[in-house]
Amino acid sequence: MNILYGVLILLGLGVLLAVGIVLFSKIFYVKEDPRIDDVAKMLPGINCGACGKAGCRDLAEGLVKGEIKKVSQCKAGKKDKNYDPIIEYLSNHPDEDGTTHIPTI
Ligand code: SF4
């Protein structure tokens, strides 16, 4: 009988914590710009850090926000494979307010 109490207490605790995790994930949800992931996928993805950023996703975020003006900051990238597709993508996908941050090579 004591084992049953232990199992019920652990089950209740598990359900309580699961509900807490779901609530916190809803409350503290951070909406991210989906263009960051799209641009990150167009970069080489080797996260070498040669661009001076923490990784490809960090550079993608800078490009999308217009903080980085040259796609060639990615030293491992190639013009046809990486730079041109990113420039074209950002030309066709402006910010929510309509401004475009189009980097150069
Ligand atoms: S240089 Fe290019 S491949 Fe290397 S981390 Fe920066 S964006 Fe990624």
Tens-place pLDDT, residues 70-80: 999 999 999 99
Query: Which residues have any ligand 1 atom within 6 Å of their CB?
Result: 43-44, 46-51, 53, 55-56, 59, 74-77
Pocket test for ligand 1, best of 37, 42, 47, 67 (most atoms within 8 A of CB): 47
Contacts of 30 (CB under 8 A, 6+ apart): none
Tens-place pLDDT, residues 17-68: 999 999 999 999 999 999 999 999 999 999 999 999 999 999 999 999 999 9
pLDDT of residue 60: 97
Average pLDDT over every residue of 76-90: 95
Whether residue 62 contacts residue 68, with contact meaning beta carbons closer than 8 Å, is answered with yes
Contacts of 76 (CB under 8 A, 6+ apart): 44, 46, 48, 50
Residue ranges per structural domain of the chain:
1-30, 34-92
First to last CA, the chain: 72
34-92 CATH fold: 3-methyladenine DNA Glycosylase II; Chain A, domain 3 (1.10.15)
Distance CA 77, CA 60 (A): 12
